[in-house]
Homo-oligomer: A and B are copies of this chain.
Amino acid sequence: MNRKVKNIELNRLSPDAFKHVQKLPLCLILDGIRSLQNVGSIFRTADAFAIEAVYLCGITGTPPHKEIHKTALGSEESVNWFYEKDIVTCLHNLKRREYLIASLEQTTESTFLHEFVSSKPIALILGNEVDGVSEEAIAASDICLEIEQFGTKHSLNVSVSAGIALWHISQRLRNKV
């Protein structure tokens, strides 16, 4: 009989086992995310897809924080994260380590997410809820990625966008699409 799986049956990793598991060659850079709830939700998604790290830049809040914990539900302790005040320094360091720097932003030269492929490890920048990715981060990016949209609103919620982009890129990295 088809029934819901109990949490224990999911056999999820312990935070300690997670530290040692192989990660996807993919990290996130949060470029001034204002809402701690969005930060927490992004941690939860980063955990689910086992990405390498999350870089918190500028005004982005950092763990430990009660508001982040409410939506991260403990994933802020499993996911590898760093705070780097200056995003340009952060991106410069990732470039030296051969990462492709990709901004999730609608620009005059953006590539649709569904057409994106990369042979290099990927550093994906997510921007502020109102202003999007900063001009300096876009200038330092190798590519801008856009989620094709068909409705009336200009953009998606940033933690929803992060989920879509992490899903799609991880599907590519795992050769599922």
Binding site for B on A (CB under 8 A): 1-5, 7, 10, 12-15, 18, 21, 41, 44-50, 71, 73-75, 78-79, 105-110, 114, 132-133, 135, 138, 144, 147, 149-154, 156-157, 159-164, 167-168, 171, 176-177
Q: Given that A152-B75, A153-B75 are known contacts, is A4 also in contact with B50, CB under 8 Å in the complex?
A: no
Residues of B contacting A14 in the complex (Cβ-Cβ under 8 angstroms): 152
Bound Cα distance from A94 to B160, whole angstroms: 27
Copies in the complex: 2
Residues of B contacting A176 in the complex (Cβ-Cβ under 8 angstroms): 114
Interface centre among A13, A49, A153 (most CB of B within 10 A): A153
Q: Is the CB of A49 within 8 A of B18?
A: no
Bound Cα distance from A49 to B79, whole angstroms: 30
Q: Which 5 residue pairs across A and B have the least CB separation, nearest first? A: A47-B151, A160-B163, A50-B150, A2-B109, A48-B149
Distance (whole angstroms) from the CB of A42 to the closest CB of chain B: 9
Q: A156: which of B7, B44, B144 is its contact (CB, 8 Å)?
A: B44
Q: Is the CB of B45 within 8 A of A156?
A: yes
The chain B residue sitting closest to A21, CB to CB, is B150
Bound Cα distance from A53 to B92, whole angstroms: 45
Residues of B contacting A5 in the complex (Cβ-Cβ under 8 angstroms): 106-108, 110
Distance (whole angstroms) from the CB of A4 to the closest CB of chain B: 5
Bound Cα distance from A114 to B114, whole angstroms: 14
The chain B residue sitting closest to A24, CB to CB, is B150
Distance (whole angstroms) from the CB of A174 to the closest CB of chain B: 9
Q: Is the CB of B71 within 8 A of A177?
A: no
